[in-house]
């Protein structure tokens, strides 16, 4: 059995979708559905059972589950604006430590979600060299909670036994429930439907024109393929970036949405909120040489193709994976 924590969430449900495509339905989805609508990601998926995340942890700690082949741990609070540090420590750090310790002891494959938020302002670059882990300085508590586990795993010599994935800016179907944490593609699509225009933040950095701040955008289908590479290649361990390897501007991103909708490009630039100014990243770009060296050779979606697939085959059709 393959366990996917956060299996009703964005990347987690996409992983289950892809496993189904590959013929695997012996999947235990672990999550905490709460009051949002991520449950809507589940009806189209095929899986053996669903379990609440705290019940799952209790069963793991009591050694009450057997026949687990792998735990793909996507479950976490992923809000970059969450300020309850104790909550993030419990959910993103302590919970992950428990699952990792169990997996290593029982020789269960463990793959977990780290985050590009661990890189902070990018001053030290975006290399997934584990020797640099202790030098990184995240800009928000979410990133720090992920950084804490990366450092714990490295310090306890687990990075040669487990695989961690640092996801960059992921966009794609099954993210509707994420509210303000939805991708700009999802938000911009709604804005275009309502007003025919898109709002982007002005630049506060003289090195970047308005809308020319850049990010590494990766389509969720590529993020899933990179993740499952480590399920099918169990000898590949360590912490790896999952990104396109190519930084592109917000302007390029939203122009791809207008193109997919066959609409004229109309962008309004608005002031960057004061609470974001100290935490705003102007440049992110994944160094993906490490995952390529590990043997990952699959062709990635271009930004234009990924956005077009998302808009035409999912957003316009109000469809989940």
User: pLDDT tens digits for 3-57?
Assistant: 999 999 999 999 999 999 999 999 999 999 988 899 999 999 999 999 999 999 9
For residue 275, the model assigns a pLDDT of: 82
Both structure tokens of 235:
């000898």
Assigned domain for 36 exists: yes
> Taking Cα atoms as reference points, which of 165, 298, 313, 293 lies closest to residue 225?
298
Both structure tokens of 196:
């025919």
- Cα separation, 188 vs 261, in Å, equals 12
- Cα separation, 258 vs 182, in Å, equals 18
For residue 229, pLDDT beyond 90: yes
Q: Is 24 exposed, middle or buried (0-12, 13-18, 19+ CB in 10 A)?
A: middle
Q: Read off the pLDDT of each residue in 249-264 and give the average, rounded to a whole number.
A: 98
Q: Read off the pLDDT of each residue in 201-213 and give the average, rounded to a whole number.
A: 95
Assigned domain for 138 exists: yes
N residues, the chain: 321
Contact predicate 146/118, CB 8 Å:
yes
SS3 242: strand
Q: What is the CATH number of the domain that holds 131?
A: 3.40.50.720
> What's phi and psi for 199, nearest 5 deg?
-100, 130
**302: DSSP letter:** P
For residue 76, the model assigns a pLDDT of: 86
Q: Catalytic pick from 161, 178, 202, 279?
A: 178
40 is catalytic: no
The helix (H) or strand (E) run that includes residue 52 is strand 49-52
For residue 81, pLDDT beyond 80: no
Q: Read off the pLDDT of each residue in 241-247 and give the average, rounded to a whole number.
A: 97
Q: Catalytic pick from 93, 95, 102, 142?
A: 142
Task: Please state, for a pLDDT cut of 90, what percent of the chain lies above it.
Answer: 88
Assigned domain for 294 exists: yes
- In which residue are the tokens 């393959």 written? 2
Residue range(s) defining the domain that contains residue 34: 2-168+219-243+286-298
For residue 237, the model assigns a pLDDT of: 98
- Cα separation, 14 vs 10, in Å, equals 6
Contact predicate 162/112, CB 8 Å:
yes
Task: Please state, for a pLDDT cut of 70, what percent of the chain lies above it.
Answer: 100
Give one word for 153, left, alpha or beta, with left for phi > 0 and alpha for psi -120 to 50: alpha
90-115 per-position pLDDT tens digit? 989 999 999 999 999 999 999 999 99
- In which residue are the tokens 């100290």 written? 278
Q: pLDDT-based confidence at 66, cuts 50/70/90?
A: confident
Assigned domain for 266 exists: no
- Cα separation, 302 vs 120, in Å, equals 25
187 is catalytic: no
- Cα separation, 79 vs 180, in Å, equals 9
Assigned domain for 110 exists: yes
Assigned domain for 96 exists: yes
Both structure tokens of 229:
């590479």
- Cα separation, 220 vs 59, in Å, equals 30
Assigned domain for 68 exists: yes
Assigned domain for 206 exists: no
- Integer-rounded Cα Rg, in Å, for the chain is 19
Q: How many structural domains is the chain composed of? A: 1
């Amino acid at each position: 059995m393959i366990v996917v924590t956060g299996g009703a969430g964005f990347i987690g449900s996409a992983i289950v979708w892809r496993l189904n495509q590959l013929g695997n339905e012996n999947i235990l989805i672990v999550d905490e559905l709460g009051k949002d609508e991520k449950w809507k990601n589940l009806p189209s998926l095929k899986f053996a059972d669903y379990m609440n995340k705290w019940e799952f942890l209790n069963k793991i700690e009591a050694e009450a589950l057997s026949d687990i082949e792998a735990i793909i741990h996507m479950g976490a609070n992923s809000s970059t604006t969450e300020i309850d540090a104790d909550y993030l420590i419990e959910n993103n750090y302590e919970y992950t430590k428990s699952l990792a310790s169990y997996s290593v002891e029982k020789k269960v494959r463990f793959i977990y979600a780290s985050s590009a938020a661990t890189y902070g302002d990018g001053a030290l670059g975006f290399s997934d060299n584990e020797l640099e882990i202790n030098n990184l300085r995240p800009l928000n508590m979410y990133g720090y909670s992920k950084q804490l586990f990366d450092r714990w795993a490295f310090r306890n010599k687990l990075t040669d036994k487990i695989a961690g994935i640092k996801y960059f800016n992921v966009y794609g179907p099954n993210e509707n429930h994420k509210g303000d944490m939805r991708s700009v593609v999802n938000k911009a699509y709604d804005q275009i439907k309502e007003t025919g225009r898109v709002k982007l933040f002005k630049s506060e950095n003289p090195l970047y024109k308005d809308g020319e701040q850049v990010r590494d955008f990766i389509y969720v289908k590529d993020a899933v393929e990179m993740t499952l590479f480590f399920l099918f290649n169990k000898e590949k361990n360590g912490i790896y970036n999952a990104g396109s390897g190519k930084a592109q501007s917000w302007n390029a991103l939203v122009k791809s949405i207008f193109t997919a909708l066959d609409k004229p490009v109309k962008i309004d630039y608005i002031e960057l909120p004061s609470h974001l100014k100290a935490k705003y990243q102007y440049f992110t770009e994944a160094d993906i040489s490490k995952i390529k060296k590990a043997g990952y050779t699959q062709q990635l979606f271009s930004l234009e193709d990924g956005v077009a697939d998302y808009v035409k085959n999912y957003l316009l059709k109000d469809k989940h994976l």
